[in-house]
Structure 1
Amino acid sequence: MTNVKKTYHHGDLRRSLLDEAVVMIDETGFDAISMRKLADKVGVSRTALYHHFDGKPALLSALAEDGFVRFTAELQDNARLARREKGDSSVSALHNYVACYVDFAVENAAYYDLMFGREIWKTAQATESLKEVAYASFKTFVDTVVDWQQDGLLVDDVDALRYAQVAWASLHGLSRLLIDGIYIEQAARASMIETMALMISQCLARPE
């Protein structure tokens, strides 16, 4: 029986390759994925695949870049919503942001592993495009911290950059523990998110 290749409209193949690759990584891990296996999964020739990615490092960088775009968009939407809802307390606003960060990380673990994993950064294989998107994502978080200060959620005499670095590390640490299965109880996850938001609010809230 002849193996009929799938056909794609112009521009669809790259998206299909990225979508299939993240599924493969989620199921089998980074080491098991290969350009040949990906081409076979999607149903195209390796030549067609190499028109979009010149090798596995470029593919992984593109996946991480895609993850950062989605991640940043969700966090920005959350922050904008919090600013519109001025009636929310500082604890509520920060809780929603922490929950948004952690939920994205846990529910998109394959993306998150690539975005912050050693497979790309430790091996110095990040593309310039990925570096730009990753930096822009963190810059957005710094801007969010500045907004929190302006809205009175945090004191304004704390350096926004340093605060963002430490807060990001805390969010990342909690997310990694959940992704790696160290913490597995849903009730504990919700409680830790609430506690982190409370700590941020109490430690850096404006004095009454």
Structure 2
Amino acid sequence: MTRSSEKSAYHHGNLRAALLDTARSLVQAQGLDGLTLRAVAERLGVSRSAIYRHYSSKDELLGQIIMEGFEQLRAATAEAAQQRAKRTESCPLDQLHHMGLAYIRFAVEHADLYDLMFHPSLIGRSCDTVKMASLRSYEVLTDMLQRCQQAGQIKAGEPHRQAFAIWASLHGLVSLCRGRPPHAVPEATLEGGFEMLLEQLMAGLATQQQWRSVLQTDTSD
């Protein structure tokens, strides 16, 4: 690629998107250690100076990928709740249930991105923009729990503590089911495992009558 074509791609915004796509591909194929700005430049056929116009470091490039991942997760769970809310028989607890299912589907369908979002070596290095995106995705859950409380469907309490219990359970289930043998659980059992897990969580948060009504709503779909 010539300098003029690099400038054209930069001007039209194509290079920025290509950098993100290429970085994701490298992480998927070679792991986090395989991602370098040099490798991205070589795969795209551009100079490293062209990359520096958009990202000053590998961490900044990773931060953009992770931020977009949290935005996608937020959108997926919010959309699941909104779709359920269109049903006349739906209630906040039912919508919470389907948000959990959407979380699991996101983790399975975007496995490499999900792993990157929660990679231990990156969590402490996250910039403020990434942290804010993570918080926004978390607030979708806390907001729904507040709605469940207002509807009298779960016990009163600190929504952030309740949200942490649900998120930790979901994340743990996903991590377990996507682990390596001999401890791995088939992905086909994820949603069934979530149903059992959520039933136990709801035993502590919701009245049995409220939870039974949600299960009856699902079986009638």
CA shift at 1:11, angstroms? 1.6
CA shift at 1:90, angstroms? 7.4
CA shift at 1:22, angstroms? 1.1
CA separation in 1, counterparts of 2:202 and 2:91? 10
Of 107, 114, 117, the match for 1:115: 117
Q: Answer whether contact 1:152 1:206 (CA < 8 A) is retained.
A: no
CA shift at 1:167, angstroms? 0.9
CA separation in 2, counterparts of 1:32 and 1:109? 17
CA separation in 2, counterparts of 1:132 and 1:89? 28
Aligned counterpart, 2:165: 166
Of 44, 47, 54, the match for 2:46: 44
Alpha-carbon displacement from aligned partner over 1:132-182 (angstroms, at most 9, x marks no partner): 211222222211211222344422x12211101111111111111233344
Percent identical: 30
1:1-208 alignment runs, 5 A limit: 8=9, 10-88=12-90, 93-121=95-123, 124-155=124-155, 157-181=156-180, 182-206=183-207, 208=209
Q: Answer whether contact 1:61 1:127 (CA < 8 A) is retained.
A: yes
Q: Answer whether contact 2:69 2:117 (CA < 8 A) is retained.
A: yes
Paired residues in the alignment total 203
Alpha-carbon displacement from aligned partner over 1:23-59 (angstroms, at most 9, x marks no partner): 2111211011111111112222111111111111111
Q: 1:149 to 1:183 in 2, by over 3 A?
A: farther
| TM, length-normalised to structure 1 | 0.86
Q: 1:90 to 1:76 in 2, by over 3 A?
A: closer
Structure 1 runs not aligned, ≥5 long: none
CA shift at 1:21, angstroms? 0.9
Choose 95-104 or 54-63, whichever is displaced more.
95-104
The residue type paired with residue 76 of structure 2 is: E
The residue type paired with residue 145 of structure 1 is: L
Higher helix share: 2
Q: Answer whether contact 1:62 1:130 (CA < 8 A) is retained.
A: yes
CA shift at 1:14, angstroms? 1.2
Q: Answer whether contact 1:20 1:41 (CA < 8 A) is retained.
A: yes
Larger RCO (CA within 8 A; separation ≥ 6): 1
Does the residue aligned with 2:34 lie in a helix, a strand or coil?
coil
Q: 1:161 to 1:13 in 2, by over 3 A?
A: same
Q: 1:67 to 1:115 in 2, by over 3 A?
A: same
CA shift at 1:205, angstroms? 1.5
CA separation in 1, counterparts of 2:24 and 2:162? 32
